[in-house]
Amino acid sequence: MSQLVHLMLVGAHCGDVELQAGAIAHKYAKAGHAVTFLHLTAGEKGNPPHISVEEYRQQKIQESEKAAAILGAKSITLEYKDAELRANDETITHVAKLFRERKPTHVITHWKHSIHPDHALCPKIVEAAWLKAALPGFEIEGLPPHSLRSMFHSENWEDMQEYDPDIFVDVTEEFDAYLEAISQYWFVMNSTSFRYFEYYKALGTVRGCVNRTTYAQTLKYPVGGNVRKGSAIPGIEL
């Protein structure tokens, strides 16, 4: 096995990262790598009829823990409120502290464009927290500096403006567990505003067709993040 990594998936709401890259996460977890799902909010304001926002928050945290257990990941849900996320110093320092404590090597998060403001803030928070966690000049509760190696964006139906995937990952062997995991969420199976389960099952199929595998999930490099430096064109020997 290659060197073990710690893959952390950072999403705006419980359910986001599992839908986006849950099968990729499961693939790494099965291979012995550490995988953590960090939900910045529970996404509690899409509460079903007759369930309060607070009750739905608790329900979503329970659902996230069930999904994470199926996928072989740890699940962390922060206290920030759905649809009120801010890329402010408090949030950035909080995430930077988690980076220093948990030491993720690679982060997967939302793409930078979204119809949901919480989603679009996630990569901004991750990038700022990456810098803050890495710089020795920032004192955070005595924790030693820690730097990520890289971050990637993952695919979400609400974040598709200018999302052209760069990386296709074969998740054929992981897709049954993925579907079981996402089906733990009430909203995935019962939302009347969007057919989540059908969409993500079909998306895995469509991306798999392009990848020449039964199923695939995709990632995207940050803008400017896929730069190669060397003495020749990559893949073309002199």
Interacting residues with Zn ion (CB under 5 A): 12-13, 16
Q: Nearest approach, Cβ of 59 to Zn ion (angstroms)? A: 16
Q: How far is the CB of 129 from Zn ion (least distance, A)?
A: 19
Distances (CA, A) of 107 to 38, 92, 223, 236: 10, 15, 15, 30
CB of 120 vs Zn ion, minimal distance in Å: 11
Quick one: 13 or 220, whose CB is closer to Zn ion?
Answer: 13
3-state secondary structure of 204: helix
Listed residue (216, 212, 68) closest to 155, CA to CA:
216
- The residue among 16 and 155 lying less far from Zn ion, judged by its C-beta, is 16
Q: Which of 11/104 has CB closer to Zn ion?
A: 11
Query: By C-beta, is 13 or 27 nearer to Zn ion?
Result: 13
**What is the Cα–Cα distance from 140 to 144, expressed in whole angstroms?**
8
Cβ 41 to Zn ion shortest distance, Å: 8
Q: Which residues pair with 169 in a beta bridge?
A: 217
Q: How far apart are CA 211 and CA 124, in angstroms?
A: 29
C-beta nearest to Zn ion: residue: 13
- Among 217, 153, 196, smallest CA distance to 15 is for 196
Please say which residue, 127 or 159, places its beta carbon nearer to Zn ion: 159
Nearest-5° angle of CA 184, CA 188, CA 191? 135
Residue 41 structure tokens: 């909010």
Minimum CB distance to Zn ion smaller for 16 or for 174 = 16
- How do strand 216-220 and strand 106-109 relate by DSSP bridges? unpaired
Q: How far is the CB of 206 from Zn ion (least distance, A)?
A: 21
Q: How far is the CB of 222 from Zn ion (least distance, A)?
A: 19
Number of Cα atoms under 13 Å in the Cβ half of residue 120 = 11
Closer residue to Zn ion, CB minimum distance, 211 or 217 = 217
Output phi, psi for 166, to 5 deg.
-100, -30
How crowded is residue 31: how many other Cβ atoms within 10 Å of its Cβ?
13
Q: How far is the CB of 159 from Zn ion (least distance, A)?
A: 9
